Amino acid sequence: MSVPKTLEIPEGVEVLRAETSRSEHAVHRARAAGERRGSILLVPGWTGSKEDFTPVLPLLAGLGFDVVTFDQRGQYESPGDPLDDYSLEALAADALAVADELLEDERFHLLGHSFGGLVAQNLTIAHPQRVRTLTLLCSGPGALGDSPTRPLKRIAAAIGKVPLLDIHQLREQGIKRPAQITAFLGKRFSANAPASLKAMTQHLLDAPDRVDEVAATGVPVWVARGEADDAWPHDAQAEMAERLGTQIVILPSAAHSPAVEAPDEFVDDWRDFLLSH
C-alpha cells in the first residue's frame, strides 16, 4: 500500500475530474514550468490513488513536463460499476483515454507503480507508438502472488462479503501512523468500488508475465525500486530489468512508494532517463 506523507496539495497542482471517451476519473495535474519537454502519465497501484504521486508533480513540472496522474476505474474517487470491464487490457485502455484527454503530446512518458506497472505494460504492448518511455516502479513481471504478509487470496474472497473498512482495519493492525493519514487510508480503501478492488487483487494473483512482449516493442524502459521495497522479490525485479535490456535502479531512502517516501531522490534519479528521451 502506498502511504502519502502529507495530504496537502502543493502549489501548481490542479485537482480536477476528467471525462474521457471511456469513463470518468479523478485527476491531479501539473503543467510544465518554463520550456516544455513533453508529457508524463503516472498510473497508481493496488489500493492506491493519484495521491501517491502528488509530491512529485511539481518536481516533474519543474523539469518541463506536463504531468497527469489519476485514480483508475473504481479506485478511490473514480467511479466503477459492478459490470464494468476491469481486465488489464481495459484498464490500459482507460489510461490511454486519460492521456488522450489531458496530455498535449501524442507520445508520452508512462510510469506504472506496483500494480500500475502491469497496466502500463499492457498499454505499451497495445500501443507502443504512443509510449515514449516506460518506467516500472516497484513493480514486477506479472502476478505478485499470495503470501503470509499479503494474503491476497483471503482479501479477494472477502471483498463483497465483508465491509471494506473491516478488511482495511485488519490489514492495518499494529501499524502506527499519524491520525490524518490513518483516516485518509481508511477512507480511500473503503471508497474503492468492490468490483474494481476484487479484480485488481485477482490480477495480482494471476497476471501473466508479458515482459518479453514489452521488450519486443523497443520502447526504452527504466526500472527502479526502493531499497526496502517489500512487494515483488528483489531478484525478480532485477531479472525483469535485465530482460528489458536495463539494470534496476535502487533508491536508498525508499521502500515500496518512492514518490511519497523520497520524492526528490526519486526524481533526481529518474531525471537523466527522462531528459535523454
- Report the pLDDT value the prediction gives residue 177, as an integer from 0 to 100: 84
pLDDT in tens, 139-162: 999 999 999 888 999 999 999 999
The neighbour count for residue 152, using CB atoms within 10 Å, is 20
- Name the residue among 25, 52, 33, 47 with its Cα closest to residue 111: 52
Q: Report how far residue 220's alpha carbon sits from residue 230's, in angstroms, rounded to the nearest whole number.
A: 26
Each domain of the chain, given as residue ranges in start order, spans 13-144+208-276
- Report the pLDDT value the prediction gives residue 149, as an integer from 0 to 100: 83
Task: Note the CATH number of domain 13-144+208-276.
Answer: 3.40.50.1820
- Report the pLDDT value the prediction gives residue 123, as an integer from 0 to 100: 99
Q: Report how far residue 76's alpha carbon sits from residue 26's, in angstroms, rounded to the nearest whole number.
A: 8
Tell me the mean pLDDT in the region 196-206: 98
- Report the pLDDT value the prediction gives residue 176, as an integer from 0 to 100: 84
Tell me the mean pLDDT in the region 46-65: 97
At 172, the pLDDT band (50, 70, 90 cuts) reads confident
pLDDT in tens, 98-143: 999 999 999 999 999 999 999 999 999 999 999 999 999 999 999 9
| Chain centroid, CA 112 distance in Å | 4
Whether the model clears a pTM of 0.85, i.e. scores above it, the answer is: yes
User: E strands, the chain, where?
Assistant: 13-19, 24-30, 38-43, 65-70, 108-113, 131-137, 221-226, 249-251
- CB-CB contact of 118 with 112 (8 Å): yes
Helix (H, G, I), strand (E, B) or coil at 24: strand
